Amino acid sequence: MSDRKAPGKKLLKALAGEMTDGIPVWLMRQAGRYLPEYRKVRAEAGSFLDLCYTPDFAEEVTLQPIRRFGFDAAILFSDILVVPDALGQQVAFKEGEGPVLEPITDLAGLAKLSSPDGVKGRLAPVYETVARLSRSLPSETTLIGFAGAPWTVATYMVGGRGSPDQAAAKAWAYRAPDEFQTLIDLLVEATVEHLSAQVEAGAEVLQVFDTWAGSLPELSFERFALQPMKTIREKLKARFPDVPVIAFPRGAGGMAERYFRETGVTGLSLDTGVSPAWARDNLQGQGCLQGNLDPLLLVAGGPEMRRQALHILETLGQGPFIFNLGHGIVPQTPPEHVAELVTLVQEWRP
């Protein structure tokens, strides 16, 4: 592991439940198509997976928003679908379509996948990128590694692409929940291996994205979103007791409090639909919160962006808190609006 970790890092202090001199800030998808320098590297790289798997390119695009905006954290540039790719599922990113996978819809399809034990070997270039970043990032910048949560990754593996309702994965999970659990269990193990390798390479914080958690009804949420995250957290804590884990169960709604408490994660990332006051009163006593400005406010910029960002800061900034978005930056975001937001957050004091 890297020796970069310093107790004075603002984001690490917030995750430890300490008050910080100023609120730490980073943004989901802070490296991406809204930046002209990213688009230049993306064109040079060729395919999206080549960008993820080439350390020279992946390191560069991870560093770009740090150089431009001075965020308190850098998140590894990669994708949640490198895990199914490493397990042997056919994954491609098609221009104008997004990710396209060879669907897995039954146990016969699952049987064709590789063992989770091989993930570390197959994703070695990703961990090389993490190791490089642990050396090249500014000393005050926290390095975040990440993975997709089993349920969200499974929706792509089963459906073959993203979908508005996750119907294919839900159909399998409802029709044969024990069969579907086999896929979830496989992804739990693969995710633990993937995240562990990132820590070993130098990641100081881990974030797990469950983008489609909110599409599950309560009993399915318990089984396929909450319980897998709890298992991942327990396994990671046994290996790396001091590494914080942030979970992002997007759309969890009224299940968020129970999810935060029962999974044992260090921090909870909030989606745009969560009331900051409700989060302060019901969640912040359990640990650090992160969020949750609407990404489209960042597109609009101006007085309304500032007003709503200040509302979040004034409501949640009295407790352990990391400023972020309620989902990722969208491609049409003007970089100057990002710069304005970062300055606002960095200058704000309770």
Which one is catalytic: 53, 127, 156, 259? 156
Which one is catalytic: 4, 29, 233, 250? 29
Q: Catalytic annotation on 178?
A: no
Q: Catalytic annotation on 233?
A: no
Which one is catalytic: 72, 79, 85, 294? 79
Q: Catalytic annotation on 223?
A: no
CA distance 329 to 325: 8
Which one is catalytic: 4, 34, 42, 294? 42
Which one is catalytic: 33, 122, 258, 306? 33
CA distance 290 to 21: 16
CA distance 178 to 279: 34
Q: What is the DSSP string of 152-195?
A: HHHHHHHHSS--SS-HHHHHHHHH-HHHHHHHHHHHHHHHHHHH
Q: Catalytic annotation on 156?
A: yes
In sequence order, which ranges of the chain are alpha helices (DSSP H)? 10-15, 36-45, 48-53, 55-69, 82-86, 107-111, 119-122, 124-136, 150-159, 167-175, 177-201, 218-221, 227-239, 256-263, 276-282, 295-300, 302-316, 335-347
Q: Catalytic annotation on 67?
A: no
Instruction: Give me the active site residues, please.
Output: 29, 33, 42, 79, 156
